[in-house]
């Protein structure tokens, strides 16, 4: 069994298995900004391939159908690709309601990945020992796993920067990692 970048891959072990593998997606809960950013730069298919994605009621309310990212969210929710989860408690009271609900769900399900793009909230969640992934670092995971190349990663990081809603600090970290990875592959 191999666990990498939030995806568990294992042979099925069934007789007649023709070399196929079973992909077990890591459970994840997201905040609105992560959804909007990953949708906006075309990363949503990668997110959905890697993660069994959950959302909270407050996040759903922040994704109206009048916007393309909201339309895609509601389309996927209606067909059952996304699952709503309600936090049982309110351990964290900082940030907006969508962020609070997402982090509280992650605290209740510590094996889940918290998909988050707000830098302050990201740091706080990481300090609580949660598994946190932001859009810029997802790009780095995709390069590392051979799903996109460094040129595509640079293009996506540029798009994230032009959105002006992704933390410049998170983008800078991702660019540093990408540069280090590019140096390794020379």
Q: What is the pLDDT along the chain (186 residues), one digit of tens a residue?
A: 222 333 333 333 333 444 555 567 899 999 999 999 999 999 999 999 999 999 999 999 999 999 999 999 999 999 999 999 999 988 887 888 999 999 999 999 999 999 999 888 888 889 999 999 999 999 999 999 999 999 999 999 999 999 999 999 999 999 999 999 887 654
Q: How far is CA 164 from the centre of its chain?
A: 19
Give the C-alpha distances (Å, rounded to integers) separating 148 from 43, 55, 71. Answer: 11, 26, 26
The model's pTM is 0.84
- DSSP string of 97-108, one letter each residue: HHHHHHHHHHHH
CA distance 113 to 165: 21
Domain boundaries, the chain: 27-184
Task: For strands 51-55 and 83-84, give the pairing.
Answer: parallel
Kindly state the tokens that stand for 99: 């962020």
Give the right CATH number for 27-184 from 3.40.50.300, 3.40.50.1980, 3.40.50.1010, 3.10.290.20. Answer: 3.40.50.1010
């Amino acid at each position: 069994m191999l666990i990498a970048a939030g995806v568990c891959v294992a042979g099925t072990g069934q007789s007649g298995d023709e070399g196929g593998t079973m992909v077990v997606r890591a459970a994840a809960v997201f905040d609105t900004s992560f959804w909007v950013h990953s949708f906006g730069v075309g990363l949503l298919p990668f997110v959905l391939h890697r993660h069994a994605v959950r959302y909270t009621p407050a996040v759903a309310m922040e994704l109206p159908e009048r916007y393309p990212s909201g339309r895609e969210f509601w389309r996927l929710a209606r067909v059952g690709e996304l699952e709503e989860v309600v936090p049982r408690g309110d351990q964290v009271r900082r940030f907006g309601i969508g962020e609070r609900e997402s982090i509280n769900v992650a605290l209740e399900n510590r094996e889940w990945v918290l998909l988050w793009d707000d830098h302050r909230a990201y740091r706080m969640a990481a300090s609580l020992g949660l598994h946190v992934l932001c859009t810029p670092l997802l790009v780095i995971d995709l390069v590392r796993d051979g799903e996109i190349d460094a040129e595509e990663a640079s293009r996506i990081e540029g798009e994230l920067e032009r959105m002006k809603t992704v933390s410049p600090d998170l983008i800078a970290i991702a660019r540093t990692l990408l540069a280090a990875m590019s140096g390794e592959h020379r």
